[in-house]
Amino acid sequence: MNQKPLAGVRVIEFGTLIAGPFCTRIMAEFGAEVIKIETPGTGDPLRKWRKLHGDTSLWWYVQARNKQSVTLNLKSEAGLEVARKLIASADIVVENFRPGVMEKLGLGYEKLKEDNAGLVMVRLSGFGQTGPYRDQPGFGAIGESMGGLRYITGYPDRPPVKTGISIGDSIAALWAALGALMALRHREVNGGAGQVVDVALYEAVFAMMESMVPEFDMFGFIRERTGNVMPGITPSNTHTSRDGKHIIVGGNGDAIFKRLMKAIGRQDLADDPTLADNAGRDARAAEIYGTIDDWVRCHDADEVISTLKAADVPTSPIFSIADMMADPQFQAREMFESLALPGGASVNAPGVVPRLTGTPGGTEWPGPALGEHTQAVLNALGYSDEDVARLNADGVI
């Protein structure tokens, strides 16, 4: 098998829960050596979140796959000494503490780069490393709210709602991984210097907000909640079939709209010149959506899907996880892989994305036991077995 693209890159993770650990999960899936620093005795709280297998979260086994777990008491000088040695050997450090915590530990970037000038330090926080809000706590939910996502999510006659996952944290993690790789690329081609990648959760979400800024600046337009309708782009909506299934129909391309109208028996709308472009369709959005609603509710979901697919109109039922697990496209693309868990059980986990044809990512092992790699990592740093035993007795590891 070809070597993974991040083989040879060493990453030290000081993250907990979602944003920092998801960032390093991506790196680990593509071959980076990720050493996760955890608090002795407790570890990352994610180990106990959501559904447990035995006493360990199933989410943990996915989020920490391919990582090494090293326990360190960062409140002890001996623990900080180990941390500094690890960082001196690393390409990337990822942390998602509040701004200032790493500095209080003596692990701020200005200090660390004295021993490792090429170090890339990825810092994820609610509001970034600067500004008047920097010291405030900020989880993904706060980033989603301040970054604009919550305001536009839901129906206009009801309060804003959230998506069913921690999307703000995950978006920030993706930006962080991208920033880290750009900084590595800069280091490779522009003289070897490292730098800080500063990711604020609210900014990560804000960066996804499409055309909101120029539309407000130019026209004073504030995008509001529109339910399942894609605002300003018609038609794209959710419709309910006769048998109670929810179906997405995306007919917003000019040619696609004509095919959609023909497929549902409305050749008159397909031929209407005032509906030939999006502006004309959006002006008559209520009429168009009512027409599609009327047709879909008169047919079962299978008939709706087959009719629209035959007309080459983008459509899909809204999948639950049970639907995904049974779907032939997911299976053909190998989007589920089996993880062998401690004790002999196995569980399906999401496949690795993105899909690289030459150097694909993959899972080598599931999330490790707390401190599973402490002995081996410290031995590689030059600590003898006796040194490790003493650190353990002193509560450092």
What are the catalytic residues? Answer: 169
Q: What angle do CA 86, 24, 324 make, to 5 degrees?
A: 155
Q: Are 121 and 109 a contacting pair, CB within 8 Å? A: yes
Cα of first residue to Cα of last residue in the chain, in angstroms, is: 36
Instruction: Enter the tokens of residue 18.
Output: 């979602």
Q: Show the beta-strand stretches assigned E in 48-170.
A: 52-53, 56-57, 67-71, 92-95, 120-125
List, in order, residues 6 or more apart from 43 with CB less than 8 Å away.
Answer: 69, 71, 370, 371
DSSP 8-state assignment for residue 48: G
Q: Residue count of the chain, please give it.
A: 397
Instruction: Enter the tokens of residue 331.
Output: 């299976």
In DSSP terms, 198 is beta-bridged to: 123
Q: What Cα–Cα distance (Å) separates residue 8 from each residue in 25, 175, 309, 339?
A: 16, 22, 46, 24
Instruction: Enter the tokens of residue 189.
Output: 């081609």
Phi, psi for residue 115 in degrees, rounded to 5: -100, -10
The DSSP result for 178-222, as a single string, is HHHHHHHHHHHHTTS--EEEEEEHHHHHHTT-TTHHHHHHHH---
Q: Whole-angstrom Cα distance, residue 42 to residue 66? A: 20
